[in-house]
Copies of this chain bind each other. A is one copy, B any other.
């Protein structure tokens, strides 16, 4: 790589000190700098195509204008959409995003956070994995600004932005029940992650409230890293119970996509044989032969809010802020009886 021009190069060329060049290019000491010199400096800077070396600036100012983003998996539509929103929001405030995919793996997540800390990011937006409390608490103890997004630990007093998952799941299941479905199953993750626990609890409480006794066989859990087989198996089991379920809730877009692909190749018809409601939307929601009823998370709001909270906390030392936004039930064909 070619040698880059530095403040010194400009200073020498103009015949002034680097301090002056710095003041001019940063529009500091306004009104105190000679017009002729100031213009000359700008001209030379342009000629030499000067660009400020952020590394040097950061070292001195102790600020990198960089935020670390840890998502579950950037190649997943949910993570990718959030990432894009955060990218844009960050850019508007002149921040750049360093990111990493945790793959729902605690060790990997810890490693990523470490790497990004070494890179001196000014703060983090994190979608934490299960068992990452340790790292989160570590950040907290070291007063590193951060915001959790989508997921959070109820026992950790830190900022987060997510939806009210209990309510969302409740709404989804209530909707199924109101449409005449009775034996509602759920496929979720086998994980202690609070936001997913909440979904299960919401599911249970909706059934309870409608006086339906839940059969434990209706609740299927798959690994957070599942590549689909477990989802297929879970579906098969739910649909082949002595008394099969007549509706299923998919607790995430990943589960939903695997599920739909499988259903798409099977004899089971949606919603004739089984109704489906899912969390999160994706192309799948619209492209499946029976467009999918789903809970839409307000991604834009979540991403922008998380970024705002983080930047506040970085720049003005804003305190802890916790937001539980509302998910919206988007009703499509997959949950509505066709024979009515």
- CB of A213 within 8 A of chain B? no
- CB of A28 within 8 A of chain B? no
Q: Which of B1, B55, B66, B101 contacts A143 (CB 8 A)?
A: B1
> Which of chain A's residues 109-161 have a Cβ closer than 8 Å to chain B?
114-120, 142-145
- A116's closest neighbor in chain B, by CB? B96
Q: Is the CB of B59 within 8 A of A87?
A: no
Counted per complex, copies of this chain come to 2
Q: Which of B2, B55, B115, B264 contacts A64 (CB 8 A)?
A: B55
- CB of A56 within 8 A of chain B? yes
- A287's closest neighbor in chain B, by CB? B287
- CB of A324 within 8 A of chain B? no
Q: Specify which chain B residues have a CB less than 8 angstroms from the CB of A55 in the assembled complex.
A: 55, 58-59, 64, 119-120
Q: Which of B59, B91, B282 contacts A283 (CB 8 A)?
A: B282
Q: Specify which chain B residues have a CB less than 8 angstroms from the CB of A116 in the assembled complex.
A: 96
Q: Specify which chain B residues have a CB less than 8 angstroms from the CB of A79 in the assembled complex.
A: 80
- A143 to B4: give the CA distance in the assembly, Å: 11
Q: Which of B87, B145, B261, B286 contacts A286 (CB 8 A)?
A: B261
Task: Tell me the smallest distance from the CB of A294 to a CB of chain B, in Å.
Answer: 14
- CB of A260 within 8 A of chain B? yes
Q: Is the CB of B51 within 8 A of A118?
A: yes
Task: Annotate A59-99 by CB proximity to B: 1 below 8 A, 0 otherwise.
Answer: 10000101000000111110111011101100100001111
- A43 to B81: give the CA distance in the assembly, Å: 43
- CB of A284 within 8 A of chain B? yes
Q: Is the CB of A54 within 8 A of B120?
A: yes
Q: Specify which chain B residues have a CB less than 8 angstroms from the CB of A282 in the assembled complex.
A: 283
- CB of A27 within 8 A of chain B? no
Query: If the complex has contacts A59-B56, A75-B83, A143-B1, are A99 and B101 also in contact, measured as CB distance less than 8 A?
Result: no
Q: Specify which chain B residues have a CB less than 8 angstroms from the CB of A101 in the assembled complex.
A: 84, 87-88
Q: Which of B76, B114, B119, B287 contacts A66 (CB 8 A)?
A: B119
> Which of chain A's residues 237-292 have a Cβ closer than 8 Å to chain B?
257, 260-261, 264, 282-284, 286-289, 291
> Which of chain A's residues 9-55 have a Cβ closer than 8 Å to chain B?
51-55
Task: Tell me the smallest distance from the CB of A6 to a CB of chain B, in Å.
Answer: 11
Task: Tell me the smallest distance from the CB of A240 to a CB of chain B, in Å.
Answer: 23
- CB of A100 within 8 A of chain B? yes
Query: If the complex has contacts A59-B59, A116-B96, A287-B264, are A74 and B87 also in contact, measured as CB distance less than 8 A?
Result: yes
What 9 A-B pairs are tightest by C-beta distance, nearest first? A75-B84, A80-B80, A287-B287, A289-B289, A55-B58, A2-B143, A75-B81, A54-B118, A55-B120
Query: Could you give 10 example pairs across A and B, Cβ below 8 Å?
Result: A1-B142, A1-B143, A2-B143, A53-B59, A55-B55, A74-B87, A75-B77, A79-B80, A264-B287, A282-B283
